[in-house]
Amino acid sequence: MSKKYKTLLSPAKIGNVELRNRTIMAAMGMSQSDNGFVNKATINHYAERAKGGVGGIIVEVTCVDTPLGLNTKGMLIIDDDKYIPGMTDLANAIHEGGAKAFLQISHTGRGARRPIIGDQPVGPSAVAMPYSYMMGLANETPRELTIPEIHEIEEKYAQAALRAKKAGFDGIEIHSVGYYLGQQFLSKTANIRKDEYGGSCKNRMRFHTNIIKRIRELCGEDFAILLKLPAIEIGTYAGISIFDAMYYYKEFQKLGVDAIEVLAGKWSSEAGKNEAPDSAYKDCMAVALSVVMKVGVFLQTGHKNTIPYIAGGRAQNPVAAEKVLKRKECEFIFVGHGLLAQPDLVNLYAEGREDEIRPCIGCGHCIDHQLQHGGKAICSSNPVLARGDNDYTITPAKKSKHVVVIGAGVAGVEAARIAAIRGHKVDLYDKAKEVGGQMNLADKPPFKENFKLLKPYLERQLELTGVNVHLGTEVSKDDILKMNADAVVCATGVIPSMLKIPGAERAINANDVLAGANTGKNVVVIGGGSIGCETAELLKKQGKNVAILEMTDTLAGNTGKTNQTILLSHLKGHGVKLFTESAVQSITDKTVVYKDKAGKEKSLPADTVVMSVGNKPNTALYDSLKDEVKEIYNIGDSNGGGIIPNAVYDGYTVGCQL
């Protein structure tokens, strides 16, 4: 075992529950249950992380009160004894992998949406959930809960905890961050009640106080009670000050909570002009909140806090995690998306195999695909996540084949990697001199630093699996036919589209700009999709005067809601001129002519015009071979992949089929 992470990998206790190390998988909704019941996919998902070495697993947000408390249609449920058998299987699977099991219990409150629950949502007060770019959601005004209804919900939390105990869980976590009911009661903007549940901090925490006391009464001292709690609520609609939070942390410690997971809540309709999305988050970025809360408790009591704090925020990097633990800034590290991307993350730490870690790049598809599209969590790095039954088994091929893969983007590399693992002889070709394909451009705009982590992983996987890599090598149909391959995989990417308008030849493509092409002082970007907007942001950062012309009414519409809000806040904040519902007519030596929404012809000055009007699949090689090669596949962007998770999944699926 690696000695580099002595503190991180040392055992520690939460209450009377001892964990084998100080890593905890944070609860993350997957939306993959069967009408609230644990299924095979749920069990496989958590069992894989338990086998992967994590110390404790907090199972995703689980509803204590259906239908009003539901978040998504695929949310787990624990409001009835009928869910206990499945939960028992889940707890057993986690324990068999060597991890401790905690169940996160929650009610969505005013964050619940009518299409999901079939009714008006409820909350501590009739105050609508405002739009938050952190979630990409707003909601209708809820119905204010009556005191008898609050008492009923408190008991439902407690009974949910009791069911978790009966199922074999080591404890529960009460979810009180974000748009969930717990935080709503604690926030003075969401909770404006004048009775015993509102007003003072003591009254606003009464909901939690009653729940915690009742859980302890029902479940005993050996059953761990964790609390996911904001250290501050920030933004336009902030309702929990840092001093409120210090009071809560002190009081919840006195109440007998065994550990607190430290985070922040945010309510803001727009991001700051330099605010970072997940793709630029720094390692262990939220640990500072834990330090502040420790200081707050000390100032109030004269004593150090006596319960462990669980902190993190992009804590996939073990060097950073070890550092904050050694400095006692927190007692446990929570890892979220890093464990979605790499299930055996902690084992890789322990075995000194950090260079094999599949990174989270911070794309946000895991969240967006659920909340915005009503689907399951998906991942740009991990093709298995929430696909099918979450089965990570790779079956050896019955017969070894010679497989030729054309294109070393994410789809091609994944196909080559899986095929090689299964025992095939694989040759991978790309005319470029580096692997990565479109990722080598996707990581160039501002705030995309974490995208850069994927390329070293791809290179290392090709090395580990023994794929024969031929870079800087363009192959033709005849070249491939001469190879006498048993199977051919085409992953040849896309060809940028261009508008057929007068003067189009004067424009350059957005890819050229991302690759480093020089531009003039005044730049007009035609096309306001994600690539166009990100290119505009890069140009603005270079000091250019930038305008975007988009023919629809939406900018960056193919970007997840959270990242879209952040990106548009950057563009507006830095003065990029944004024109929607504008149809470009022509490009001249010095201007771009367009028609606005009203049909009036206008023009913008332009030293350089950048075209970003989409891409079309590059199927030329596949089309030339499909009738001459018996086993041939077309995958990734050349098959209309569209987003990174789909391209990676394409590669994985074909690799398993070969």
Place of tokens 């740009």: 380
Backbone angles phi and psi of 70, in degrees to 5: -75, 145
427-457 pLDDT, tens digit per residue, is 999 999 999 999 999 999 999 999 999 999 9
Phi-psi bin for 385: left (phi > 0), alpha (psi -120 to 50), beta? Answer: beta
The residues near 268 (Cβ < 8 Å, ≥ 6 apart) are 132, 133, 134, 234, 235, 236, 237
**Does residue 1 carry a pLDDT above 70?**
no
Average pLDDT over residues 12-37: 95
Q: Please return the burial class of 52, using the count of CB atoms within 10 Å of its CB with bins 0-12, 13-18 and 19+.
A: buried
486-496 pLDDT, tens digit per residue, is 999 999 999 99
148-200 pLDDT, tens digit per residue, is 999 999 999 999 999 999 999 999 999 999 889 999 999 999 999 999 999 99
Residue 96 parent element (H or E): helix 84-96
503-558 pLDDT, tens digit per residue, is 999 999 999 999 999 999 999 999 999 999 999 999 999 999 999 999 999 999 87
Backbone angles phi and psi of 241, in degrees to 5: -80, 165
DSSP 3-state of 24 = strand
Task: List the CATH code of the domain at 504-613.
Answer: 3.50.50.60
pTM of the model: 0.94
Q: How many residues does the chain have?
A: 658
pLDDT band for position 283 (cuts 50, 70, 90): very high
Contact 644, 407 (CB under 8 A): no
Is 402-495+616-657 a CATH 2.60.120.560 domain? no
What amino acid positions are annotated as catalytic residues?
180
C-alpha to C-alpha distance for 529 and 535, rounded to whole angstroms: 10
For residue 427, what are the β-bridge partners?
Answer: 404, 468
- Work out the end-to-end distance of the chain between its first and last CA atoms, rounded to an integer number of angstroms: 36
Q: Please return the burial class of 38, using the count of CB atoms within 10 Å of its CB with bins 0-12, 13-18 and 19+.
A: buried
> What is the residue extent of each domain of the chain?
12-371, 402-495+616-657, 504-613
pLDDT band for position 136 (cuts 50, 70, 90): low
Contact 391, 44 (CB under 8 A): yes
For residue 490, what are the β-bridge partners?
Answer: 406, 634
What is the second-level CATH architecture of the domain 12-371? Alpha-Beta Barrel (3.20)
C-alpha to C-alpha distance for 397 and 481, rounded to whole angstroms: 23
